[in-house]
Structure 1
C-alpha cells in the first residue's frame, strides 16, 4: 500500500508540475503572441522610462537617463524630396544620456523567435550589416525588458576606426546601460521623444515635391536691385528665373512617368541675365529628388554644347515662407560658357546661393 501511495503521490506531483508548466508556458506564449499580434497588424506601441537623480546616483556607470522604444513607422525622418523615403525598419530605440542636449536613435527589425517545437524564444532585434541591437522580453508586470543592448550601437566602425580606445569608450554607452525595464506609454509620447532628434522647422513647410505638382506650371525668380549689386560686386547675376511651362509639362506627361516617382525625370528651365553680357541665357535641366533637395543636371535640350554638360548641376531646396533656394556650387548655371575650363571649377563669384520668390507665370514668360 505504501508503494501504491508513493506512486499516487508521484502522479499527483507530476500532475501539479505539468499544470504549473502549462500555466507558465501559456503566460510566455501569451507574451510572445502579444508581440506577434503587433507584427501581424502593424499596430504601433510605445515603451519608455525616465530615470530620476536618485537612481542615476546609485548607478554611476549608467549613462542613459531617458530611454524609449517605439514599434511602428519611422518616427524621425521628415517628408523629403525623394519619392520613397520611408525606413524599412519596424522598431526604433532612442536614448538620452545624462547632460546631453538631444537624443541618439537607431532603427532595427524586431521579430519574435520560436524553437523547433513552436515555443517562444524571446524577441531579437537586428540591424543592417548583421548587427544586433538588443534582445527583448516581457516580464510578469508586462514591462518590456531591453537586454544585451550593444554598447557601441551608435558608433559607426568606419568612422571611429582612428579613435583611441579611451575616446571610443567615452562615446559608447555605459557598462550599466542594459536590462532596462520599460513601461507601456502612449504612442504620442514616443513620437514626441523622437521629434527631439531632428526638430522640424515649421517655417519651411512642405517639401518641393508636395508644393509643386507634376501637371502644373511654376515660376520662381528674383530681380536684384542696383543697391544690392553695388554692395555685392562679385555677384554676376542681375535676374534669375526657374520655371516649368507647357512644354516641360507635356514632356513629362508623354514620357508616361509614374506620378508616385515625382519629381524624378522632371524638366525645368533656368534663365539668367548678367551684368557682363546683354540678353538672357536659358538652360534646361533634368531633376531627381535626393534627400532634402532636387539634384538638377544640365541637358542639351536648349543648347548645342560641344561638350558633355551632364556634370553641370544645380540644387533646389524648399525655403522659408514659400521660397525656393537654389544652390550653384560648381558653375552649373549659364552665367558662363558651360564648356569652358572655368565651368569645371567651383563657383568663384558670389553666385552660389539664391533665395527665389514665387512669381506669376507671366514673369517667366509662361
Structure 2
C-alpha cells in the first residue's frame, strides 16, 4: 500500500493520529520550569563527530559511556513539531501531547521520535517531579531543570521506541541491536531556540515542496476531477509485463451526487466514491470500477464497491490507494490486484499484483478525457 510499504510514511504521523486528545485549554504551556514565558521550549545536546572535534570534553563523555548509542538528543515542550496536514479528516482538535523527544543514534541519518504528555506527579498537578507518559502507562522520560536552566532527562528505557514485550519477540541479539544502549539515560540538555528543535524534528520526514497540499485539500467534496495516463508503444515495449494501456481516475456527477446525499463534508474524504476506468493490451473495451475511499495517514484507501458490475465475490477486499504526487500529479498504488485489469473475482486477483501494474503516476486531465 502507499503508506508504510510502498510509498512510506512518517511514524510520528501515525502515532499522533492514534492518540488525539483534548486541545490545550489556552495558548499557555503550564510547566513553568520548562517554559517560564508559556511559549514552546527547546532543549538539546549533540555528540556528533563535527561537534566532538571542538568539544573534547564530550568526546571524553562518550569514551566513558561506551554503551551510549545516542549521538543527538532534543526535547521539545509545546505543540506538535512533526505532523502536518494529511489525508485524514481534520478534527480541529489539537493533540494532548505536549512533550516530544527526538534521538539520533551513532551512524543513523535521521532521528527517531515520539510524543507524550508531561505533567507534575502530584494530585494538584502543580508540584513534584515531571513525568512524560505514553500509551499503556509507559514512561517516555522524567524531567527536571537544574539551577543553570538545563534539562535533566532520566528514566529513558532501552525499549523506548519498541513495543512492550519486544525482547521476547525479537530475541536477545536483535532486541539489543534495536534498543537504546545501557548508557542512554541521564542526559543533560542545554536550552536552545525553539527553531533549533523544529529544524531537528524536520530531519525525520523532510517535506517535499513539490508535493503541495494533500489531495483532501486539493480536491473538494463537490468538485469533479479527472486524472489519467495513456501508455504509448515505446513505454509498453520497455514494460512487457504491464497490462494497462490506459487508466483514468475520476469523480463525476454520479460520484458527486452520492457524496452529496450520504457523505459528510466535515469528514472529507472519508466516504467519497471514485471511479477507475482501464483498458488493457488484451481488451480495448473500457472497464470501470467504483471504489469507496477513507482518509488514512497520507493516502486515500479505496475499497472496490459493488455499485458497478455484478461481481460474484466480496470485492470489498480489493483495494487501491491514492496519494498526492509531485507537481500536481496523483499516485495510484495497486499492490494487491485491486484494479479491473483482471477479473476481481478470479484466482489471479488473490494476493500481490503479479504484473507490472503496481504504481501509476497520473496527470490531471480535462474532464472530457474521463467522459464527464
TMscore range, shorter length? 0.7 to 0.9
**1:106-125 superposed matches below 5 A:** 106-114=114-122, 120-125=127-132
Residue 241 of structure 1 and its aligned partner are, at CA, apart by: 0.5
Matches within 5 A, 1:188-227: 188-227=195-234
Match of 1:67 among 66, 69, 73: 73
Q: TM-score, normalised by structure 1?
A: 0.82
If the length of structure 2 is used for normalisation, what is the TM-score? 0.80
- CA–CA separation in structure 1 for the residues paired with 2:287 and 2:43: 58
Distance 1:229 1:151, change over 3 A: closer
Q: In 2, distance between residues paired with 1:121 and 1:140?
A: 16
Could you say which residue in structure 1 is the equivalent of 2:158?
151
8 A contact 2:343–2:349 mirrored in 1: yes
In the TM superposition, what whole-angstrom CA distance separates every residue of 1:165-197 from its partner, at most 9, and x where no partner exists?
455345443444333232322211111001111
347 and 177 in structure 1: CA distance in 2 versus 1, 3 angstrom threshold: closer
Q: Give structure 2 stretches of 5+ with no counterpart.
A: 1-29
What is the deviation of 1:155? 2.9
Match of 1:140 among 132, 139, 147: 147
Structure 2 residue corresponding to 1:89, chosen from 93, 97, 103: 97
CA offset digits 1:8-65 (Å, max 9, x no partner): xxxxxxxxxxxxxxxxxxxxxxxx86159789x7x42212223452233322214333
Q: 1:269-314 CA distances to partner (integer Å, 9 max, x unpaired)?
A: 1111122123211111111111222111111222122332211211
Work out which of the two has the higher radius of gyration on C-alpha atoms and give 1 or 2: 1
Q: Secondary structure at the match of 1:203?
A: helix
**Equivalent position of 1:265 in the other structure:** 271
What stretches of structure 1 of length at least 5 have no aligned partner?
1-31
- Distance in 2 of aligned mates of 1:38 and 1:300: 59
State how 1:6-25 maps to structure 2 within 5 Å: none
Give the 3 Å change call, closer, same or farther, for CA 55–97 of structure 1 in structure 2.
farther
Q: Is the 8 A contact 1:56 1:65 kept in 2?
A: no
Higher RCO (C-alpha 8 Å, min separation 6): 2
Match of residue 57 from structure 1: 59
Structure 2 residue corresponding to 1:243, chosen from 229, 240, 250: 250
Equivalent pair of 2:318/2:338 in contact (CA under 8 Å)? yes
Secondary structure at the counterpart of residue 197 of structure 1: coil
> How large is the Cα RMSD of the aligned pairs?
2.6
CA distance in 1, matches of 2:274, 2:297: 19
SS at match of 2:369: helix
Aligned residues, how many? 331
Hey, what's the Cα distance between the residues in 1 that align with 2:324 and 2:283? 30
